Amino acid sequence: MTLELLPLIDDVPALVPLRHNPDFRLDGFAINDTLRFVRKIGAGTYGLIYLVENIETGARYAAKMVMTDPPVKNGGRIDVDENKKHIQRRMYEYFFRGARGVVELDLAVVAHDGARCPFLKEIALHLRVSNHPNVVTIHKVLNLGRVAVMTLMDYFPEGDLFGNIIDNKLFLEPPAWQDKQKLMKNCMLQLIDVVSHCEARGVYHCDLKPENVMIRYNRRYKRPHDGPLIDYNELQIALIDFGLAITSDTICCNACRGLSFYMAPERIVNFNTSSLIKSLVDMRQYPTVENATLASGAKMFPTLAGDIWLLGVLFINITCARNPWPIANINDQNDVFGTYILQNRDILALILPILHRFNRLLDEIFRLSPNERLLLPELYGKIATIDFFSDDVVEPEKNANLVVYNPQLLTPPYTDTDYMALTPEYFKQRGGGVRSGA
């Protein structure tokens, strides 16, 4: 079986009258008389995620459906809201007509050849790394005619890392019988583990953020006093969504893969066209993009270093339930990131509830030059041994001219706000305030 021979049904017939269902919910529809849709648990630009259950056994799964046709565009841009409506209606029409042409695909074939097919690439890269306890297991891949591809995965009733950080205050307010520091380290070390596992198999996620990390958590569990830091009985994380993952160990500058709050600076701007960055980073150590114009001189940077940066932001999410900055772009010396890189490496300790030791560790992660960032084995060792709560808050150097506008955003925000247009009055209204080193 090859991908070119995937069974496809005839083109979708003309629309037929649909039963009254203004939201086009799939709840109650069946798949091959074995699975039943329970409720929608997620939606994105390109697909839907539903909770489904096995009709005979009652086993529950997360079913991710990705459309095989291009997204709806408006003036060259993707209209996310219109896309979601289009996808929901299209899937409803398909199942209302009887869901013809549902065929299970061979997972080995998808893993081997799927990267050549646009709507199977994400699944193929996911399958390459799925034999790990910190990657969500794929149980089946179903071809839904010409409409979509469905991936049947583990279901996590406790939800994702974002909801557990913000809504459940998992790390900030654990029960008295659980050690807050060990709980944080349990999560952090598993994140390092899974990134190491993916890198060893030539896959780089490029979109590490709390929504892409699922959680199993036992609030009643009391870990042994001398037990290992990683304890799946207490907490287990599982990585999802390989839609932006790549297999190249280098990536072109300003590739812009992921959410701006998490992206490393080299994925946001072209380092080689910024005189300021070139004064701080020796660009000769990085290869130039093949066929790049002399004007741009675009450089290639290690992909793994960008994912290590993402881990650093995630660690702040876990310990503080905050983001350090809206975007890692040096375009104004009065924003948090510009201050951090150009003036004061202790600025994070001014605006976040972190101590000196953790601040120094973050300094080794958030290096502007990707080659200077901590490697994964070093990062693992430092996280395992650091004490987040044992020293005094760092005392930053006084600087009468330093003013930082700090929105103190929850992590992650729902929108990519143009923070450079925000005023001190905006932050005061939102409760963030204005911090000064004076």
**Binding site residue list for ATP:** 64
As beta bridge partners, residue 149 has 66, 143
Q: Is 273 strand, coil or helix?
A: helix
Q: CA 88: distance to chain centroid? A: 23
- Tell me 302's DSSP state: E
Please check whether residue 438 is in contact with residue 399, taking contact to mean a CB–CB distance below 8 angstroms: yes
The CA-based angle 330-331-333, given to 5 degrees, is: 80
Q: Output the known binding site.
A: 64
Q: Give yes or no for a contact between 360 and 382, defined as CB atoms under 8 angstroms apart.
A: no
User: CB neighbours of 401 closer than 8 A, spacing ≥ 6?
Assistant: none
Rounded to 5 degrees, φ, ψ at 80 are -60, -45
Pairing of strands 300-302, 35-43: unpaired
Number of helical (H) and strand (E) elements in the chain, helices listed first: 12, 15
Residue type, 22: P
N-to-C CA span, the chain: 69
Ramachandran area for residue 159 (φ above 0: left; ψ -120 to 50: alpha; else beta): left
Look-up of token digits 């008295």: 176
Question: What separation in angstroms does the CA of 169 have from each of 219, 377, 426?
Answer: 12, 29, 26
Residue 380 dihedral angles phi and psi, to the nearest 5°? -60, -45
Task: Yes or no: say if 50 and 116 are a contact pair by the CB < 8 Å rule.
Answer: no
For the record, the structure tokens of 220 come out as 């009643």
**Nearest to residue 404, comparing CAs of 329, 322, 348?**
348
Q: What are phi and psi of 84, to 5 degrees?
A: -60, -40
DSSP of 48-89: EEEEEEETTT--EEEEEEEESSPPPEETTEE-HHHHHHHHHH
Tell me the one-letter amino acid at 342. L
Q: Write down the H helix ranges in 59-179.
A: 80-96, 107-113, 121-128, 161-166
Is the distance from CB of 246 to CB of 143 less than 8 angstroms?
no
